[in-house]
Amino acid sequence: MHITAAVLRAADGPYRLEDVDLAEPGPGEVRVRIVGAGLCHTDLLPRVPEFMANPPIITGHEGAGIVEALGEGVADLAPGDHVVLSFDSCRSCANCVSGHPAYCETFFPRNLTGLDLTGGSAVRDADGQPVASRWFGQSSFATHSVVAARNVVKVDPELPLELLGPLGCGVQTGAGSILVALGVEAGSAVVVFGAGGVGLSAVMAAKVAGAATIVAVDLNAARLELARELGATHTFDGAQADLLEHLLRTTGGGAHYSLDTTGVPAVIRTAVHALRPTGTCGLVGVQQGDLVLDPTALAVGRNVMGILEGDAVPQVLIPRLIELWQQGRFPFDKLIQTFPLEEINEAEQATLKGEVVKPVLVVPSAVENQP
């Protein structure tokens, strides 16, 4: 079918809305009419030289929409269902079947190449040339997407669907890192480095978990203020002198848990040293260089854990987060600012400038036509 998609043609160029052709859903797949899609820093990776995904590509991996068509063998979904889209996984390897789909043996080729495992794509442009359209199994910066049924989460049609897309990645990553991967306990001390969408989701989740001390560190004063509103008990400017000493004092000798969302090696070192003995530092996002720790950093039982997607099972965590939001305990909607799909470049610039925590691109016609 003919659809409209935001296509990135060059790593240093803008997104352009194009009319393209989308294949029909194959076995085990569904076609989803996109209502809203969050924009995440991960969507900028195809702009990085020598990254595994290359233009032309349709990015977007925090989509939410309405099922329109089913491929062969799809039995648990129906046209008209409202769904949130999440990352792709095989659901058959050892990690997937043991409840860790984010560590699927084929996670990287499935999610970060923009292509399927055969190197193919479901989208062709006006000249009949392929456009990468499997970014995180969805490429949701478009009016429609074909996704594997195993990667969608059915939600209540009464919910504001256009706001739910970020639950599929950024919000899930932050909250899952706290609630699932790190298993933060009530009464503990947590330090979160970076108060973007992932970090602020972690702050909200730490409050839900009952952490007694929740510290947010960032360079953006407005985001630190928002962190306090969302549950942080203390905030610090990341450029503050003697930051580590302040963190150690605030957490009573070191945090039980720290979470770095920046990928900056110098920040990660601080996150590790801000731990008490036996504490754990979680790392999310793309690391921006080699991490070098001094010989004593881990000698006292400190741990460093790499985390993908919060180590979450989306079909379990996303409904849980929605329920918490409905109870007023996880107000992720306070992170969101909406833009029409045609303003994708403006949304990207607002993200880079730190003006918006979580942009969500809305397809207006889809919202108007919701059943």
So where are the chain's domains? 2-168+331-368, 173-308
In this prediction, residues 303-329 reach a mean pLDDT of: 98
Mean pLDDT of 198-217: 98
Domain 173-308 has CATH 1.20.140.10: no
Query: Mean pLDDT, to the nearest integer, of 311-335?
Result: 98
Residue whose structure tokens are 């199994």: 137
Once rounded to an integer, what is the mean pLDDT over residues 29-58?
A: 95
Quote the percentage of the chain above a pLDDT of 70. 98
Is the pLDDT score of 369 beyond 80? no
Q: What is the pLDDT of residue 184?
A: 98
Residue 286: pLDDT band with limits 50, 70, 90? confident
Find the angle CA(285)-CA(112)-CA(19) to the nearest 5 degrees.
120
Among residues 318, 37, 322, 321, the alpha carbon closest in space to that of 158 is found at: 322
Q: What kind of fold does domain 2-168+331-368 have according to CATH?
A: Quinone Oxidoreductase; Chain A, domain 1 (3.90.180)
Average pLDDT over residues 130-144: 97
Does residue 91 carry a pLDDT above 60?
yes
What pLDDT, on the 0 to 100 scale, is given for residue 287? Answer: 83
Distances (CA, A) of 243 to 8, 115, 212, 250, 354: 40, 43, 20, 11, 22
Predicted confidence (pLDDT) at residue 366 exceeds the cutoff of 80: no
What is the pLDDT, as a whole number, of residue 365? 60
Helix (H) or strand (E) holding 205: helix 197-209
Contact 361, 60 (CB under 8 A): yes
Structure tokens at 104: 């699927």
Angle between the N-to-C axes of helices 221-230 and 197-209, in degrees from 0 to 180, rounded to the nearest 10? 30
Question: Among 213-227, 230-244, 277-291, 315-329, whose mean pLDDT is lowest?
Answer: 277-291
Q: Which residues pair with 155 in a beta bridge?
A: 82
| pLDDT > 90: percent of the chain | 94
Using a 10 angstrom Cβ sphere, with 0-12 exposed, 13-18 middle and 19 or more buried, the burial of residue 294 is exposed
DSSP lists the bridge partners of residue 359 as: 337
The domains spanning 2-168+331-368 and 173-308 adopt the same CATH topology = no
In this prediction, residues 324-346 reach a mean pLDDT of 97
For residue 289, the model assigns a pLDDT of: 87
Quick one: CA dihedral 189, 193, 197, 198, positive or negative? negative
